Structure 1
Amino acid sequence: MNIVSSSRQQELQEGGFNMGKNPENMEMGVQDMDFDDDGRIKRTGTLITASSHIITAVIGSGVLSLPWVIAQLGWVAGPAALMVFSFITWFTSTLLADCYRSPDPVSGKRNYTYRDAVRTSLGGLKVQLCGLAQYGNFIGASIGYTITASISMAAVIRSNCFHKNGHHVKCHVSNNPFMIIFACIQIVLSQIPNFHKLSWLSILAALMSFSYSLIGIGLSAAKVAERNHDVRTSLTGVQVGVDVTATEKVWRTFQAIGDIAFAFTFSPVLIEIQDTLKSSIPENQVMKKASFIGVLTTALFYVLCGCVGYAAFGNKAPGNFLTGFGLYEPFWLIDFANVCIVIHLIGAYQVFCQPLFAFVEKWCSKRWRDNGFITKEHAVTIPLYGAYSINFFRLVWRTVYVILTAVIAMTFPFFNDFLGLIGAVSYWPLSVYFPIEMYISQSRIPRFSFTWIWLKILCWVCLVVSIIAEVGSVQGLAKDVKTYKPFKTL
């Protein structure tokens, strides 16, 4: 095992610093590679890989709660809310794409991360607030994906149990062993050195998201077509006095809005995705196209999943329409759909974690440049893979992170309310406020001009919506905490 010392090799592995053509890089065997204008190894990302990253980040566990969301809001407000959030997400993503380079969106200096973009355009305390919101979102997503993946794994066991013993059997299965299995997989995949190496995993995950979404839509449509199908739906969703009380109706509406917000969130990783694109075509142009493809694809699937699922289950739609067992047969197809969900969430976990990993490792390597545990790379040969560079700090810290998120997930295994809280807290600052403020600053839009006024109105309206969703989600979590039994199986 060869040891390659100095922090420059750590910088190459993380992508956190500029890397030029110097002897240290040649020592690592990269002397024959091409380099971009900033001295880094040439980026190879394309419209396809960027779209895959977006779809992987967006179409996730949020899609599973959409029939429940439509059930709370009804036939009118439900689809309308989905379309409004999709438009806002697409619009603000186009603003954010222009902030990758500053001050000019085509020829300006690159901002490698979301925080770098905020630092360049806004600076001050807003950089810390952005980091708090962004990395909090990553941690929340890690916990949420661990919970959702374990529910889908357990659903495979339960599906086979129901098929063998009948639908009346309770078939209780603990989620905790499956959270441990998911964490073990993530410990291995977390050793992927940086975001640039995730393209294959994102493409696979995107294909899985299409698969389980189409299966869910197909099974729901088949249920609607059944001759004896009889469920209650309405223009306003669950009915006060019939399905819920007036208070429950209000809280559930707030929670549903939070779920929708979470279902469209990908802005926290947009700049990091854009930093993988080759620069032969201006990155902002490719990213805008990728955002349009990703959001449009997502919106179509969401409306189909939500509306067809609501038509199938009515006002009694489960919180997770593939694991709530409104559908039992064909059990093998439900099993396959849940396996697809798990594979997709394995990839989505990494898409959201890699920027956090890079931030911590970059900060530590700057803070302790002479610490060999943090900066030294150890080259090893792995059969069927080739040379791989291991850093002990990266190995330990990423492993500890995965374990901690799994422990938190096992402690608070709540689904809908947890998704709503993540979406409510992170959607406004990362998907609306910072993109709008950076665009205003970078484009030097005059105060109180028409464009400035309507952008500010959009920003404040979204803030009100986010606060409403936060209140609903907190109430839902508080209710779950009161009724939760630590050893209850799902």
Structure 2
Amino acid sequence: MAVGENAALEVEGCQGQDFDDDGRPKRTGTVVTASAHIITAVIGSGVLSLAWAIAQLGWIAGPTVLVAFSLITWFCSSLLANCYRFPDPVHGKRNYTYMAAVRTNLGGVKFKLCGLAQYVNLVGVSIGYTITTAISMAAVKRSNCFHRLGHHAECRVSNTTYMIVYACIQIVLSQIPNFHKLSWLSLVAAVMSVVYSTIGLGLAIVKIAGGTTARATLTGVTIGVDVTSSEKVWRAFQALGDIAFAYSFSNVLIEIQDTLKSSPPENQEMKKASFIGVTTTTTFYMLCGVLGYAAFGNDAPGNFLTGFGFYEPYWLVDIGNICIAIHLIGAYQVFCQPIFQFVESHCHARWPNNSFVSGEHNVSLFVMGNYPFSPFRLVWRTAYVIVTSVIAMSFPFFNDFLGLIGALAFWPLTVFFPVEMYIKQAGICRWSNRWLWLQVLSITCLIISIVAACGSIQGLIHALSDYKPFGGS
């Protein structure tokens, strides 16, 4: 589209009551809906592994690392919120996606690297959430089995069946056209995340109050007692990746910000939403991680609601796992929408006159009324869900996979690109004090990501050594 045509479209958009300044339908998002999107994206399967992560690091390093990651995430998300518009963060031109913000601020090579990092991470999250949801759904059946036959019963359940069920649900939900139609799903998912976190927290408190004999130490798992010296190091690295994954939402921040109303300014509202989201999640993370470690000590399971540290009351454990499944059904869509939009926008631009790719029809659905249907969206999104589900069935390793995803995404998406864009947009001089401190932050986080990735890869290699694909759990 020519510049003049774009300007005319924006003017026309400004004049219409149902359109924003860019000619697109008026955005209706608020701090509440943006906070719900963030909580849905952040409080995910990561919270379930935090007791295990703190067990690897101990009473001192564990909570310290958790708080450090939260501060880094909040700080960098505030920088990123200013990059939604360019060059001015209040009145500049909108960037609709994370990649668009990087392209506008940093240009070609970094734009391509950002696309690679973002979409590899989003695909990884899709696979990780499929694994986690299946484990939680299978855990309900196992919990009932343990209640009926005793805690030492074998109670093996195949996760594969539940991954197929999950994939079928996601195929249906993936027909939701875009982020703007996801608010209701994110609100439901956010409530579910609070519910299951609270259940896990309550069970940990009850276990502690009942006089737990768990052995917890200042430095975490003990060399020579719980692990070997090499295992201690690798597990500590993997724990860093698990904690990094628990705070992963920067890769969808711009897309969430694009749902906000233009007044008050989007960057101000997004900063408020980020603060609310990160503060809420950190509170739950600290409570679940610390109290989970206090309840189980150095024997904390990798997933404290499905690793069966908790057996009774079985019905409450069941409710917790059902809430996890519902939450991750919504979170999957939050993380997949950027992938869906990227592929569909590219295909529409490439084949604008192809009726299969660009055609859209209104279909009358019971209760929902007229709903936009696209044959290309149906085929492509269905194929995506099937492929990610098959990969999840092949490599269902909870902690190792979460740690690897977190490690790969944390530095480039949460730290490096937001910092570089902020430096460019704010005009910070090279070698100034502010520039130097930002570079120290970026390099430190790069080192953390590298060691976390190494720990998770080692864990995956160890898990694969005696793994049988498509087996039970």
How far apart are the structure 1 equivalents of 2:204 and 2:277? 24
Give the partner amino acid of 2:118. Answer: Q
Q: Is the alpha carbon distance of 1:327 and 1:377 closer, same or farther for their aligned partners in structure 2, counting shifts above 3 Å? A: same
After TM superposition, the score normalised by the length of structure 2 is 0.97
The CA deviation at 1:384 is: 1.4
Among candidates 150, 163, 168, match of residue 147 of structure 2: 163
How far apart are the structure 2 equivalents of 1:223 and 1:445? 52
Is 1:52 the counterpart of 2:20 in the alignment? no
Query: Given that residues 189 and 327 in structure 2 are in contact (C-alpha distance below 8 angstroms), is that contact kept between their aligned partners in structure 1?
Result: yes
How far apart are the structure 2 equivalents of 1:37 and 1:164? 61
Is 1:415 the counterpart of 2:437 in the alignment? no
How far apart are the structure 1 equivalents of 2:83 and 2:10? 27
How far apart are the structure 2 equivalents of 1:252 and 1:348? 27
Q: Is the alpha carbon distance of 1:19 and 1:205 closer, same or farther for their aligned partners in structure 2, counting shifts above 3 Å? A: farther
How far apart are the structure 2 equivalents of 1:421 and 1:352? 17
Give the partner amino acid of 2:222. Answer: Q
* Residue 295 of structure 1: aligned partner: 278
Unaligned runs of 5+ in 1: 1-16, 26-30
CA offsets, 1:382-402, max 9 Å, x none? 121111121100110000000
Q: Is the alpha carbon distance of 1:245 and 1:19 closer, same or farther for their aligned partners in structure 2, counting shifts above 3 Å? A: farther
Q: For this pair of structures, how many residues does the alignment match?
A: 468
Q: Is the alpha carbon distance of 1:452 and 1:391 closer, same or farther for their aligned partners in structure 2, counting shifts above 3 Å? A: same
How far apart are the structure 2 equivalents of 1:21 and 1:65? 47
The CA deviation at 1:35 is: 0.6
How far apart are the structure 2 equivalents of 1:344 and 1:246? 37
Is 1:308 the counterpart of 2:291 in the alignment? yes
CA offsets, 1:12-41, max 9 Å, x none? xxxxx9995999x9xxxxx98611000011
Is 1:350 the counterpart of 2:339 in the alignment? no
The CA deviation at 1:124 is: 1.4
Give the partner amino acid of 2:196. Answer: Y
1:116-131 correspondence to structure 2 within 5 Å: 116-131=100-115
How far apart are the structure 2 equivalents of 1:388 and 1:277? 23
1:445-484 correspondence to structure 2 within 5 Å: 445-484=428-467
CA offsets, 1:347-397, max 9 Å, x none? 000000001100000000001112111011122111211111211001100
Query: Given that residues 33 and 41 in structure 1 are in contact (C-alpha distance below 8 angstroms), is that contact kept between their aligned partners in structure 2?
Result: no
Is 1:71 the counterpart of 2:55 in the alignment? yes
CA offsets, 1:401-457, max 9 Å, x none? 000010000000110000000000011000000000000001110110010000001
Among candidates 119, 122, 132, match of residue 135 of structure 1: 119
- SS in structure 1 opposite 2:363? strand
Query: Given that residues 393 and 470 in structure 2 are in contact (C-alpha distance below 8 angstroms), is that contact kept between their aligned partners in structure 1?
Result: no
The CA deviation at 1:488 is: 3.0
How far apart are the structure 2 equivalents of 1:79 and 1:327? 23
Give the partner amino acid of 2:316. Answer: L
How far apart are the structure 1 equivalents of 2:368 and 2:21? 30
Q: Is the alpha carbon distance of 1:372 and 1:22 closer, same or farther for their aligned partners in structure 2, counting shifts above 3 Å? A: farther
- SS in structure 2 opposite 1:387? strand
Give the partner amino acid of 2:347. Answer: C
- SS in structure 1 opposite 2:465? helix
Query: Given that residues 196 and 321 in structure 2 are in contact (C-alpha distance below 8 angstroms), is that contact kept between their aligned partners in structure 1?
Result: yes
The CA deviation at 1:280 is: 1.3
How far apart are the structure 2 equivalents of 1:157 and 1:149? 13
1:385-424 correspondence to structure 2 within 5 Å: 385-424=368-407
- SS in structure 1 opposite 2:344? helix
* Residue 424 of structure 2: aligned partner: 441
CA offsets, 1:58-116, max 9 Å, x none? 00000000010010000000000000000000000000000000000001000010011
- SS in structure 2 opposite 1:231? coil
How far apart are the structure 2 equivalents of 1:386 and 1:226? 53
Is 1:204 the counterpart of 2:204 in the alignment? no
* Residue 244 of structure 1: aligned partner: 227
How far apart are the structure 2 equivalents of 1:464 and 1:21? 44
CA offsets, 1:175-194, max 9 Å, x none? 00100000000000000000
The CA deviation at 1:487 is: 4.4
Query: Given that residues 11 and 21 in structure 2 are in contact (C-alpha distance below 8 angstroms), is that contact kept between their aligned partners in structure 1?
Result: no
1:183-332 correspondence to structure 2 within 5 Å: 183-227=167-211, 229-332=212-315
The RMSD of aligned alpha carbons is: 1.7
Query: Given that residues 265 and 431 in structure 1 are in contact (C-alpha distance below 8 angstroms), is that contact kept between their aligned partners in structure 2?
Result: yes
* Paired-residue identity, %: 67
How far apart are the structure 1 equivalents of 2:7 and 2:279? 35
Among candidates 63, 70, 84, match of residue 100 of structure 1: 84
* Residue 7 of structure 1: aligned partner: none
Deviates more, 1:375-384 or 1:70-79: 375-384
How far apart are the structure 2 equivalents of 1:32 and 1:277? 18
Give the partner amino acid of 1:466. Answer: S
- SS in structure 2 opposite 1:483? coil
The CA deviation at 1:140 is: 0.3
Query: Given that residues 208 and 341 in structure 1 are in contact (C-alpha distance below 8 angstroms), is that contact kept between their aligned partners in structure 2?
Result: yes
CA offsets, 1:34-54, max 9 Å, x none? 110000110000000000000
How far apart are the structure 1 equivalents of 2:273 and 2:257? 10
Unaligned runs of 5+ in 2: 1-5
How far apart are the structure 1 equivalents of 2:164 and 2:16? 42
